[in-house]
């Protein structure tokens, strides 16, 4: 169960426009850093694996492919590090990629929620305006009906007070 204080803080954050923008900026910077990590991780694993017996990451294009496989957790198994330092680079790349994808996913979710909130607000305003217009039309129609009934009552009263011969 989530403490009510945490729920309150999260509600404030999700409703704060500045926080949403900050979240989008974070997603941009995380994407940029992740791209650098992919490129750098490929270079580092190539250095770590160079000259190792049974190494299969032997060129930068292969290392770059390995880095994308590792970051996306696909891991086809066609390329993998065989040295300790190559595996350290792999572990760091995996952890940073999982974190980056989490931040980017959260930023996208925040954007979608913000758009939905704006749509709901616009819809609520439109429904409110329509309801006010309908209420005014109903009041006008009701006023007209009351006036007609008053007129009919007056005619009936006048007819009852003047007996026909």
Q: What percent of the chain has pLDDT over 70?
A: 85
Residue 78 has what DSSP assignment? Answer: S
Q: Among residues 34, 77, 28, which one has the least CA distance to residue 57?
A: 77
Q: Given pLDDT bands bounded at 50, 70 and 90, which one contains residue 88?
A: very high
Q: What is the mean pLDDT of residues 93-105?
A: 87
| Residue 11 predicted with pLDDT over 80 | no
* Separation CA 41–CA 46 (nearest Å): 8
| Residue 89 predicted with pLDDT over 90 | yes
Instruction: Work out the burial of residue 33: count CB atoms within 10 Å of its CB; fewer than 13 is exposed, 13-18 middle, 19 or more buried.
Output: middle
Q: Given pLDDT bands bounded at 50, 70 and 90, which one contains residue 156?
A: confident
Residues 6+ apart with CB under 8 A from 90: 45, 70, 80, 81
116 membership: H or E segment, kind and range:
helix 84-161
pLDDT at position 65 is 95
* Separation CA 94–CA 150 (nearest Å): 82
Does the model's pTM come out above 0.75? no
């Amino acid at each position: 169960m989530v403490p009510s204080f945490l729920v309150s803080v999260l509600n404030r954050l999700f409703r704060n426009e500045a926080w949403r923008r900050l979240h989008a900026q974070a997603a941009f910077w995380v994407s940029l850093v992740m791209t650098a990590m992919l490129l750098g991780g490929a270079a580092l694993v190539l250095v770590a694996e160079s000259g190792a017996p049974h190494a299969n990451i032997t060129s930068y294009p292969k290392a770059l492919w390995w880095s994308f496989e590792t970051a996306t957790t696909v891991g086809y198994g066609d390329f993998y590090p065989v040295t300790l330092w190559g595996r350290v680079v792999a572990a760091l790349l995996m952890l940073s990629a999982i974190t980056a994808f989490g931040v980017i996913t959260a930023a996208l979710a925040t954007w979608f929620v913000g758009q939905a909130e704006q749509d709901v607000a616009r819809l609520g305003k439109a429904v409110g305006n329509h309801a006010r217009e309908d209420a005014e039309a109903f009041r006008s129609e009701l006023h007209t009906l009351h006036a007609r009934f008053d007129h009919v009552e007056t005619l009936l009263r006048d007819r009852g007070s003047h007996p026909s011969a």
